[in-house]
Structure 1
Amino acid sequence: MTVFFQLAVSCALALAVCAGAVCYFRTVRTPRLPIGVFNGADIFLMMGFVLALPYLYLALPGAVLPAVLALAFAGGLSVGYQPVIGDGRLRWALIAALVASVFAAHLAFGDTSAPYWTANSCVVALVVVSATNINVQGGMRLKNVAWFLLALTVYDAFFAWVVPLTEELSDAVQGYPFAPAAGLRVGEDLGAVLGMGDLLAYALFTTAAYKAYGKAGLRTAMALVVLFGAVAPVATLHLVGAVTGHAPALVPAQVFFGPAAFLGHLLLRRRGPERRMAEIVFARERIGGPRQRPARTARAQAPATG
C-alpha cells in the first residue's frame, strides 16, 4: 500500500508542476531580466548558490528558518506572478492569504497532517512554476539545464551519501511550517514528499525542452520525469529495503533524473538547433488586459539570447 501511495503522489506532483510551468510558459510573458546569454559561468554561479544555501539555512536558529522561508516564498510569488496580477495590492493580499493558510494549517493540524501538506505543496508548486519561467523565459536553454542537472547529480549524491547535509537540512525543518518540499501525508503511516529542488529540476527540464523542441521535447521530458524523477527513486527505496531489510533514509532523485535528462538532451539535440524565445509565438492574455501576440521573428533576425 505504501509504495503505491508514494508512486501515485510522486507522479501526480511531478506532472502537475511540470504541466503548470509549461502552461505558464505558453500563456504568460515574464519581463526579461538583464542577465545576457546563459553560459558555463552562469552554471558555475548557480551551483555555488545551491551549495551555499543549505549552509545558510542550517546556520539560522530553528525558529528563524521558517520565517526566512516564508519571506523567500512570498518574494518568489510576487516576482513570478506580477505579469499575471498587475495590481500590487491585490497580488500581495493573495500571497499573504496563501502564506497564512500554510501557517494556519500547521498551527491547527500539525506538520504531519494532510491539510498542512496540501497548503504547503500549493505554495511550493506556485514558487517552482514562477522560478522556472523566470529562468527559461529569461534565456536559460535546454543545454544549460542539462549541464546544471548533471552537476546537481554529483552534488546530491555527495551530500546524501558522503556528507549528510541533505538529511541535516531535512531534520532542521522538521516541526516547523514552510518546508521546502511538497507532498502528502495521511496519518502516521502514509507519506510521500518531494524536495522543492527536485520539483524545480523537473519543471526546468520540461519547460526548456518544450521551448527548444515543442511537443516532441515536451513528450520526452514528461516521460523522463515520470520514469526517472518519480518512479525510479521510490522503487529503489523499497527495493533496497526489501533486499537488505533496512530502507535507506534518503534516495536522491537527481542521481536517476540528472543523467537521464542529460541523455534526453542529447537525443533531442539530434532534431536540430534549439528554438529561441524570439521564434515562439505566445498566445497569452494578461488579466485585465488585451490579448497580445508578438510577431514571429525569423531565425536570421533572432537575437543571440535564449
Structure 2
Amino acid sequence: MPQTPSYFGPSTVMLSFYEVCVATVATALTIVCALWYLRHVRMERPGIGTFKGRDIAVLTVFLATLPLLYIHLPRVILTSFLAVTFTASISIGLKPLLKPAQVWLVVGGLIGLNIWLARTMLGTVLGWQIYWAEDAILVVLGAASVANLYVQGGMKLKHVASFALTLAFYDVLFTTAFPVTDALAEEFLGFPLDPSVGMRFGIANAALGLGDLLVYSLFFCASFKAYGRKGAKLAGSLALVFGVVGPSYAPLVVNVLDARGDRIIPAQAIFGPAAFFAYRWMRKHWGRERTMKEFLESDDVPKAEVIRAAAELPTPQPEAGQVPVGAPAAGS
C-alpha cells in the first residue's frame, strides 16, 4: 500500500500562480498610487542638493545592512523600529494632503490596527487575509511616498537603474551564499508590521517585499518623469515581466522552498539587470532625461494642478514707501 504524503499543501505550480496574483496586484497598486501622487501632488524638495553616485552608494549600503540588523533585533525592538519606519514614510506622503492632526490619526490608526490584527486574528485563514489586506495599505502607502520623495527630490532614472543593478548582486549574494532573505521571511511572517504585501491561500502565504515594490515604483516614476508615457509603458512592462512573472516562476526552475513553504524570490536579481539595460536603451534612443522643471511644464502633469500650486504662492507686497512696479512715481 503506498504511503500517504506528509505534505498536503499546494504544488509548486500553484504557489507560483498565487505569487503572480499577489505580486501583480501589489505592483500595480504601488505604481498607480506613486504615479498619481507624482502627477498631482508636489512635495517640498529636501535640501539635499543633486543626487550623485555617492548618494546611491550610501543608500545601497544602508538598505543592504538593514536586513542584517532586522534578524538580530529582539522582537519588541524590531516592532518598534518598524513602527517608526512606517510612521516616517507614510507621514511624508500624507502631509501635503491632510492636516497634521489627521496625518497622525491615520498613521497611528493603521499601525495600531495592524498590531492588533497580528496579535488576535492569525488563527484562521480569514484572519490572515484581513491582516494581509490591512498590512498592504501600510506598505503601498510607504513605498509610493518614499518613491516620490526621491523622484521629486531629484533622483534621475540613471540613479534608479544603477541602484537596481547593485541590488541585483546583493539579492543573489544574500539569497544563495548567505540566506538572509530566507531568515527575514521567517522573522517577519506572523508578526506585526510585516514589510511586504501578501495574501493567504489555505496554508500557503505569497508575498512581495517592500524593497521590491519601492524599486519598481522608483523605476516607473523616474521613467515617466524622464521620458513621459512611452517611458512609463516600457517601465511597467519590465516590472510585470521581470519583476513579477520572472521571480514568481523562478522556483519552477530552481525549486527553492524552505521548511514552511515560504518562497525565496530573487526579484532584483532578475529585474535589476533588465532595468539597467532598459535605461541604457532609452538613453540611446530617446536622448537625455527631462528635469523635474521640464516634467512639470509638460503635458504629463495636469495643468490645473500646476496653476493651483502657483496660485498658492504668496504675492510679494511692496514695503512702506516703495513704489509698485508700473505705478507712476510721486510728483510725476
Query: 1:227 offset after TM fit, Å?
Result: 0.2
- Answer yes or no: is the 8 Å Cα contact 1:224–1:261 preserved in 2: yes
Q: Tell me the secondary structure at the aligned position of residue 192 of structure 2.
A: coil
Mark the runs of 5 or more structure 2 residues left unpaired by the alignment: 1-13, 312-332
Please point out which of 200, 203, 207 is paired with 1:188: 203
Which deviations, in whole Å up to 9, do the C-alpha atoms of 1:78-110 show, x marking residues without a partner?
Answer: 12221111x111110111111122122222311
Query: 1:47 offset after TM fit, Å?
Result: 1.2
Which deviations, in whole Å up to 9, do the C-alpha atoms of 1:140-189 show, x marking residues without a partner?
Answer: 00000000110000011101101112222222223311011111113213
Query: 1:249 offset after TM fit, Å?
Result: 5.0
Q: Is 1:250–2:271 an aligned residue pair?
A: no
Cα distance in 2, alignment partners of residues 166 and 131 from structure 1: 22
Query: Aligned residue for 1:163?
Result: 178
TM score, norm. by length of structure 1: 0.87
Query: Which sits farther off after the overlay, 95-104 or 228-237?
Result: 95-104
Cα distance in 1, alignment partners of residues 21 and 190 from structure 2: 25
- Answer yes or no: is the 8 Å Cα contact 2:167–2:272 preserved in 1: yes
Please point out which of 62, 86, 99 is paired with 2:75: 62
Query: Aligned residue for 1:71?
Result: 84
Query: Aligned residue for 2:277?
Result: 263
Who wins on radius of gyration, i.e. which is larger? 2
Query: Aligned residue for 2:245?
Result: 231
Query: What amino acid does structure 2 have at the position aligned with 1:173?
Result: F
Cα distance in 1, alignment partners of residues 241 and 263 from structure 2: 21
> Which aligned pairs between 1:1-306 and structure 2 lie closer than 5 A?
1-85=14-98, 87-110=99-122, 113-189=128-204, 191-241=205-255, 249-269=263-283, 270-281=285-296, 282-283=301-302, 291-292=308-309
When residues 56 and 284 of structure 1 are mapped into structure 2, their CA distance, relative to the original with a 3 A threshold, is farther
Query: 1:194 offset after TM fit, Å?
Result: 0.3
Identity of aligned residues (%): 35
Query: Which sits farther off after the overlay, 40-49 or 109-118?
Result: 109-118
- Answer yes or no: is the 8 Å Cα contact 2:16–2:251 preserved in 1: no
Mark the runs of 5 or more structure 1 residues left unpaired by the alignment: 295-306
Which deviations, in whole Å up to 9, do the C-alpha atoms of 1:178-214 show, x marking residues without a partner?
Answer: 011111113213x320011000010000000000000
Cα distance in 1, alignment partners of residues 275 and 255 from structure 2: 26
Query: What amino acid does structure 1 have at the position aligned with 2:201?
Result: V
Which deviations, in whole Å up to 9, do the C-alpha atoms of 1:201-231 show, x marking residues without a partner?
Answer: 1000000000000001100000000000000
When residues 221 and 76 of structure 1 are mapped into structure 2, their CA distance, relative to the original with a 3 A threshold, is same
- Size of the alignment, in residue pairs? 285
- Answer yes or no: is the 8 Å Cα contact 1:283–1:293 preserved in 2: no
TM score, norm. by length of structure 2: 0.81
